[in-house]
Amino acid sequence: MSTIVMKFGGTSVADLNIMQNAILKIVEEVKNKKKVIVVVSAMGSTTDHLVRKVKEVSAIYDAREYDAILSTGENISASIMALLLQNEGINSRSWQGWQIPIITTDNHSNARILDISTKNLEKRFTNGMQVAIVAGFQGISNKNRITTLGRGGSDTSAVALAAAICAERCDIYTDVDGIYTTDPRITASAKKLDKISYEEMLELASLGAKVLHTRSVELAMQYKVKVRVLNSFKKGSGTLLCDEEDMMEKKVVSGITFSKNEAKLTLLGVKDKPGVAGIVFDCLSRANINVDMIIQNISDNDLTDVTFSCPTDQVDMAKESLEEGKKNNIIEYRKLDVDRQVSKISIVGIGMRSHSGIAKKMFKTLGDENINIKVISTSEIKISVLLERKYLELAIQSLHEAFELSKV
Ligand code: ASP
Ligand code: MG
C-alpha cells in the first residue's frame, strides 16, 4: 500500500463547511487504498490573528513563546479534520509536530527541519489508522521547545514528510488551479502551466510568487518528490513540479513574477577602495536587512555610488543602520537616496540557458512602453528589473504578451 501526502492550506480549511471539500478528496484516496497523511494549515487567517495577539502583549516578544502561540492554529485544524473524518467512519488521528517527531533547529519563527522519524506513523498505520492528520508549520527543537518553520511553512512540512516516508505523491491543495504564467488578477490571459521544473518553481517562489513556500520547493527538488499543486474546490490536473529532463519542450520563458513593495537605496559618494562594500553590507546584515539586487557604478575621482534594493518595510531599518554607520565613522558617503516607490518584475525560464536575446526582448518591450528600468539583475534562468511601481501592471501585461505566454 503506498502513501500519499495531501496538504490543505488556510483557505481550504477556513471553516467546517469548506473543510468538507477536503474531506471528499481524502475519502477518495482512502477508497483508492492509499495510506494518507494529511498536512493542514491553520484555519483561514488564524495565524495572522495570533501574530497580532503576540504583538499586543509584547512589542519585543520572546520567540519561543511566539512559536508556542502560533503553532496552536494548526493544532486546532488538525484535530477538527480528524473528527470530521471519524464522522465519515474513517480511522483517523491528529498529530502535532512533537508527536511524530519533526525535529528542527532552534531558530525560532524560522526553524529548519533536521529530521523526521516516520516510525510512530508507520506503527499506527499498521495498527489500523487510515489517515494521519499532521499539524503543518511546526516542529520541536532538540532543546525540547515547539518551533515554527516561517510563514507559509506548512508546504515545507508536507514535502518533508513526503520525502521522509517516500510517498508516491505530495498534493498541495490551495485556492487556485495551479501555477500560472503570471498572476491572473493582473492579466486575464495568464495560463495555468501543466508542468513546471523544480528550478523554475524555485526561482518563481523566491521571487515573489506566493503559491508555494520556497523551502518546500528546495526539498522537493533535492528529494525528487512528485509535487502537484491543485485546487481544493474543483477537479483538475493542477500543475506538476518535475525535473527539467521531464519537460518535453523547454520554454524560453515560463513565467513572470513580481514583488510589489520594493525600495531602492543609493549611497552616493562612497570611497572606491577594497573593503568598502564589505563594510556597507556588514552594517545592513547586522540590521537583518534582506538585501536583494546590488549595483556599483564605475568610479569618478575614486568615489562611486552603490545601489541596492530591499523590501519597503525594511527601509527605515536600513536607513538607520547606514546613518548610524556614518555617524560612528564606520562608513563614509556623501548622501543616501531612498526611493520607496519601486517594484521588481522577473521573467523565469530554463530555456534561457540555450537562447540568446531574451534580455534584449525584455528591455525593448519595457522601453516601447516608455518604462524606465532602474536596476537589473540576472541568474542563469531569470532576469529581474526594478521599475516605478505605477508601471507594474503595464509592464507585466506587455511582457506576458511579448513572450507569448498566453499561448502555452
Ligand atoms: N499557518 C501558517 C501561516 O499562515 C503556515 C501556513 O499556512 O503554511 O503562515
Ligand atoms: Mg501557503
In tens, the pLDDT along 352-365 reads 988 899 999 999 99
pLDDT band at 251 (very low <50, low <70, confident <90, very high): confident
Q: Which of 84, 66, 101 is nearest to 13 (CA)?
A: 84
Note the pLDDT tens digit of each residue in 126-139: 999 999 999 999 99
pLDDT band at 407 (very low <50, low <70, confident <90, very high): confident
**Residue 405 counted as domain residue:** no
3-class SS string, 161-216: HHHHCCCCEEEEEECCCCCECCCCCCCCCCCECCEEEHHHHHHHHHCCCCCCCHHH
Question: Is residue 152 within 6 Å of ligand 1 at its C-beta?
Answer: yes
pLDDT given at position 304: 94
User: Which residues touch 210 (CB under 8 Å, ≥6 apart)?
Assistant: 152
| Amino acid present at 335 | K
Question: Is residue 349 within 6 Å of ligand 1 at its C-beta?
Answer: no
In the predicted model, is pLDDT for residue 289 greater than 80? yes
**Residue 321 counted as domain residue:** no
- Mean pLDDT of the chain, nearest integer: 95
Percent of the chain's residues with pLDDT above 70: 100
Question: Is residue 216 within 6 Å of ligand 1 at its C-beta?
Answer: no
User: Which one-letter DSSP state was computed for residue 249?
Assistant: S
**Residue 271 counted as domain residue:** no
**Residue 333 counted as domain residue:** no
CA distance readout (Å), 338 to 196, 310, 313, 319: 37, 11, 13, 8
Note the pLDDT tens digit of each residue in 260-287: 999 999 999 999 989 999 999 999 999 9
pLDDT given at position 292: 94
**Residue 24 counted as domain residue:** yes
CA distance readout (Å), 162 to 38, 102, 178, 325, 404: 10, 12, 19, 47, 35
As beta bridge partners, residue 337 has 266
**Residue 162 counted as domain residue:** yes
Question: Is residue 384 within 6 Å of ligand 1 at its C-beta?
Answer: no
Please give the distance, rounded to the nearest whole angstrom, from the Cα atom of residue 58 to the centre of ligand 2.
26
**Residue 213 counted as domain residue:** no
- Residue 120, domain CATH: 3.40.1160.10
pLDDT given at position 350: 93
Please give the distance, rounded to the nearest whole angstrom, from the Cα atom of residue 65 to the centre of ligand 1.
17
Pocket test for ligand 1, best of 151, 155, 175 (most atoms within 8 A of CB): 151
pLDDT band at 212 (very low <50, low <70, confident <90, very high): very high
Which comes out higher in pLDDT, residue 298 or 234? 234
Q: Which of 192, 185, 376, 347 is nearest to 255 (CA)?
A: 347
The ligand minimizing its distance to the Cα of 154 is 1
The domain total for the chain is 1
For the chain, how many residues are written? 408
**Residue 275 counted as domain residue:** no
Please give the distance, rounded to the nearest whole angstrom, from the Cα atom of residue 74 to the centre of ligand 1.
8
pLDDT (average), residues 282-310: 92
Range of the domain at 13: 3-175
Residue 325: all three cell numbers together: 554607520
